[in-house]
């Protein structure tokens, strides 16, 4: 497969779960993958999952969490904009608590929304669904790549 076509398939797979497989002619797989990733993402959102942000107290762990969320593609960006008022990926300066500081009440609308989702009853389950959706989609992008280079049918 031509490199440009392969790149397009991978980008489509990130933009919409299953789209890369559809582009490569794997329509049944595409439908199943679209359903799985989208359902996981929607359940995670409805269960008040945490759309992780970069946190100075845990820079590496929070960066990995953000990558897991971003794996869902534009769904993540749109959901963040709806929940936080903007696609936020970094803890607001006014709400950041540095290592060694005592926790304090959030001061910004984003901080308040983050705290509310974090303290919600089903937040842990929702977060697991969100991260699973993103990580699953990242694996599906690799699957599209493998199909495109001929390693897999």
Q: Do residues 131 and 69 make contact, with C-beta atoms less than 8 angstroms apart?
A: yes
Whether 143 has a pLDDT exceeding 70, the answer reads: yes
> Within a 10 A sphere around the Cβ of 66, how many other Cβ atoms?
19
* Sign, Cα dihedral of 15, 88, 44, 69: positive
Q: Do residues 50 and 118 make contact, with C-beta atoms less than 8 angstroms apart?
A: yes
Q: Give the pLDDT confidence score for residue 76 in this predicted structure.
A: 97
Q: Distance (Å, rounded) from C-alpha 127 to C-alpha 113?
A: 15
Tokens 């359902």: give the residue: 39
State both tokens at 43.
Answer: 């359940």
In this prediction the pTM is 0.88
101-130 tens-digit pLDDT: 656 677 787 788 888 888 899 999 999 999
């Amino acid at each position: 497969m031509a490199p440009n076509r392969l790149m397009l398939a991978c980008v489509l797979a990130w933009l919409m779960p299953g789209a890369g497989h559809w582009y490569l002619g794997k329509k049944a797989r595409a439908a199943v993958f679209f359903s799985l990733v989208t359902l996981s993402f929607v359940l995670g959102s409805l269960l008040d999952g945490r759309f992780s942000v970069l946190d100075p107290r845990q820079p590496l762990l929070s960066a990995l969490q953000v990558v897991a969320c971003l794996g869902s593609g534009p769904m993540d960006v749109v959901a963040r904009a709806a929940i936080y008022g903007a696609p936020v990926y970094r803890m607001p300066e006014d709400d950041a608590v540095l290592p060694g500081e005592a926790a304090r009440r959030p001061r910004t609308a984003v901080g308040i929304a983050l705290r509310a989702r974090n303290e919600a009853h089903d937040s842990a389950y929702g977060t697991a669904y969100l991260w699973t959706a993103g990580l699953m989609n990242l694996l599906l992008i690799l699957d599209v790549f493998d199909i495109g280079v001929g390693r897999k049918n």
